[in-house]
Amino acid sequence: MMVFYRARLVLLSVPKTGTTALQSALRPHADLVISDPPELKHSPLYRYNRWVRPMYEKVCGAELEVVAIMREPISWLGSWYRFRQRPHLDGRPTSTKNMSFDEFVTDYCRGKRPPHANVGSQAKFLEAQPNGCRVTHLFAYENLALFHAFMQDRTGISYNTQQENVSPDGDLSLSAATEEKLKRKHPEEFALYGAISG
């Protein structure tokens, strides 16, 4: 999470949307950077609403606009699947080694997800709060040029990003039946993404 106070913006760090590269590029220009631990770096909207938003509202009398990036849901799961194939997770319950992407997505669709498929939800991460706190500007990961143009326009900052924390390559084949199940079990993910991409 990063705050750009003069621009009245807070950028949420949705996992698997290039947040490490963005923090590297924008850190020198941000007024507040939460980069560690991961639970705080990747604070969802409800956590921002509960802890960070009141601080700026009560101390500074400022309401920040919330910016976030969302990835196409199947691609997002693919990134998690590939990330969890890294050797440092070998033998751990969160590893996806020796498992197909189809199996991983099937496990993600279970009511009680096993540890390797328990990766959360972008829709839940970005869910509007009862007090009206919501994501003001949502961008698609697949079209980051719009996000960069927005940030440079609002902040006046010129910056470049470099790829970081890239997951290893992997076969992301998904059967039609599994894809249909994912869309049936998690329509909110596809609806939210569809609202920004189309």
Q: pLDDT of 5-49, one tens digit each? A: 999 999 999 999 999 999 999 999 999 999 999 899 999 999 999
Cβ–Cβ under 8 Å, residues 33 and 87 = no
- Three-state DSSP at 11 gives strand
Place of tokens 């199947």: 74
**Rounded to an integer, what distance in angstroms lies between the CA atom of residue 102 and that of residue 39?**
28
Which domain does 121 fall in, by range? Answer: 2-197
**Residue 2 parent element (H or E):** strand 2-4
Q: Please give the pLDDT value at position 197.
A: 59
Average pLDDT on 185-189 reads 98
**Rounded to an integer, what distance in angstroms lies between the CA atom of residue 119 and that of residue 124?**
11
**Rounded to an integer, what distance in angstroms lies between the CA atom of residue 193 and that of residue 174?**
19
Q: Which one, of 121, 96, 129, 118, lies nearest residue 186 by Cα? A: 121
Q: Which one, of 16, 61, 30, 33, lies nearest residue 151 by Cα? A: 30
CB atoms within 10 A of CB 101: 21
Verdict on whether the full-model pTM lies above 0.85: yes
Could you tell me the CA-to-CA distances from 60 to 6, 33, 73, 133 in Å, in that order? 11, 17, 36, 17
Q: What is the CATH number of the domain that holds 80?
A: 3.40.50
Please give the structure tokens belonging to residue 180: 């249909």
Least confident of 53-57, 62-66, 158-162, 174-178: 158-162
**Rounded to an integer, what distance in angstroms lies between the CA atom of residue 198 and that of residue 190?**
11
Q: pLDDT of 81-92, one tens digit each? A: 999 999 999 999
**How many distinct structural domains can be found in the chain?**
1
Please give the structure tokens belonging to residue 78: 């693919």
Cβ–Cβ under 8 Å, residues 148 and 76 = no
